[in-house]
Each structure stands twice: as C-alpha cells, then as structure tokens.
Amino acid sequence: MHLEPRYRWEWRTYQRSLRPPLHTQHGLWSVREGILLRLTDEQGRVGYGEIAPIAWFGSETLAQAVEFCQSLPAAIAQAEIEAIPASLPACQFGFESAWVAIAGVPAMPQLGPERLCALLPTGPGALQAWSDLWAQGFRTFKWKIGVAAIAQELAWFDQLLAALPEGTTLRLDANGGLSLGAAKTWCDAAQGTAVEFLEQPLSPELVEPLLELQATSPTAIALDEAVATLAQLQTWYDRGWQGVWVIKPAIAGSPRRLRQFCQTPALDIVFSSALETEIGRRAGLRLALECGKGDRALGYGTQHWFQAGAETSGMSEGALFEQLWQTL
C-alpha cells in the first residue's frame, strides 16, 4: 500500500513595523503581522510560505490563522493542504505556496520599478514622497483617498497632478470609503488626467451603485475589497463586472484555483501586494507573471514601507527566505 508523502512543517509569527504608519479608510496600520511557514519533504527539500491575513479585507483574522496552525499535526499531506477551507484564504495561499515551492519554482525574474506601482503616503505626504520614488524608476503611483475632507483632498490632488512629470500614471484608492456623490466627484476630477483608475470607491455592499458607477463613469473603476477572495471574485464575475479587478493573491485563497480563474478571457486584472514579506511577495509575483494579464503595473511597489534589512543582493532565494525565517 502506497502512503501519501507527508511534510514536516514549522511555523512562527512575525511583526514588521510600517514606517510611517499607513493611514487608510480602515484606520491607521502601523504593524504588519503574519505567519511564516517552512515545509520539509522526506528528501529534505524545503519550501517556504506565508500567511498574511488582512481581516478588514475579508480574510481570516491572524488569531484564526494561528488557531488553525495549532490544530495541525507535526506532519501533513498534500490532501490536508488542499482541504484547507475557503474560510481561511490566507492559510490556503501560504500552505499551498510552500508545498509548491518544495518541488522547485522558476527563478524570479528581475522586475524593475517601472513594472511596479509604488504606494504613496496618504494625504499631503504624497506631495514630497513621489520624487524619491520617481528617481528610483517608478512611473506608476497609488494614492489613498477618502481619509480627509473631500475639498482638502481634491486640493492636494491638484497639487500632486501639477507636480508629477509627464508619463506618470496615478491610481486613486478609496478603500470603499466614499459616498456615491463623492465618488462621482472624484471620477469627474480624474477625467483626462494621469489617473489610471479609481479603486474601490464605494463599500463592497453597494453592489448596484458600483455597477452603475462602472457603467457610467468617465474614469475606469476597479474593485479591491469587494473581490478579496476567490468566492467574491466569482460572485462579481457572475454579476457581470466589466471594470478592473485588483487581486491580492496573499488573501485570495488557493493559488491553483486563482490561476484557473485568471485564465478567464478578457479580465482586466492588476495583482497587488498585501504588505507581506519577501516570501509571500515572490509567491504573489510569480502568480502574476504566470497569469500575464495585460501591461498594467503590478501593485508590489511597497518595500519602502518597511525598514531596509541586511544586504541581500546576490543571495539565493533559499538563503534569503532562511534569513527571513531566522530573523523575523
């Protein structure tokens, strides 16, 4: 009788400070917490994964992920990984990514900053921060709105547009915090400017207003919080969403199933970071490159939000991941 291979596994929690804290419609985010995983097969091969939940986006909480890890035996099989429930999408992503990595993954291509979208500070901080990022080679930026009074934010927006060089692309992200009237005001203000799209302008529960806004707005509309998980992606696909899809692989669920969804023709998809470590970041970027959806910049220009670590240039991925495992 052939027994299914089992994988020894370990896990540890981590905390990383955002410097400065990120101010969004959901509040002030000052510490990124998550779980690192290390799976080892019977031949001694190792695969790393990351569980990086964002509960206010609709994933499980960190406490629920910890409880799930505590419930598992010291060795697990592929069937147990594939049986992780959809209610734990960040756990699905972390375990499946680690298991796939054991068999070997293609080398990570070097992605220059021109291929990535850099996240700017909220509010007037963006007026200074963009220039250093531009000097590094970034040409696409994301700016979060819906945090201050709309009149004040529109004034900052005008200043930012006036400062940005020709050839810059700007994404506006409201994190679901606008009223329908405010969203229409932003759409009108963005028309004919460097704005690429307005991301999640309304709460995910406002289904009909979102569909109406997408159909009538002069500015492209993207969903983010509304399509955080695979189940939500399918729901909005069935509703006929024709706008942009911003997908955070780290909280979407099974990479295998997400890859299948992304094979659907004519989907305008932007893959985006969940402010995970390099372990989850590379797993998400590989998935984005495999799916190869369009020419939009990938939303992974977020590393400047964390304090720079030790020099890693020339380091193999395995060595880099082991260093993160040991130090975080």
Q: Are 13 and 328 in contact (CB under 8 A)?
A: no
Cα-only R_g, the chain: 20
d(CA 83, CA 313): 37
Q: Is 144 annotated in the active site? A: yes
Active-site pick, 142, 144, 184, 293: 144
Q: Are 245 and 221 in contact (CB under 8 A)?
A: no
Active-site pick, 142, 184, 248, 293: 248
177: tokens are 């915090």
Q: Are 50 and 250 in contact (CB under 8 A)?
A: yes
CB-based contacts of 301, cutoff 8 Å, min separation 6: 113, 116, 117, 118, 119, 133, 138, 140, 273
Q: Which residues pair with 47 in a beta bridge?
A: 39
Q: Are 24 and 57 in contact (CB under 8 A)?
A: no
**Residue 117: alpha-carbon gap to chain centroid:** 11
d(CA 69, CA 73): 9
Q: 199's torsion region: left (phi>0), alpha (psi -120 to 50) or beta?
A: beta
Q: Are 158 and 166 in contact (CB under 8 A)?
A: no
d(CA 124, CA 141): 14
CB-based contacts of 218, cutoff 8 Å, min separation 6: 187, 188, 190, 191
**Which residue numbers are catalytic?**
144, 248
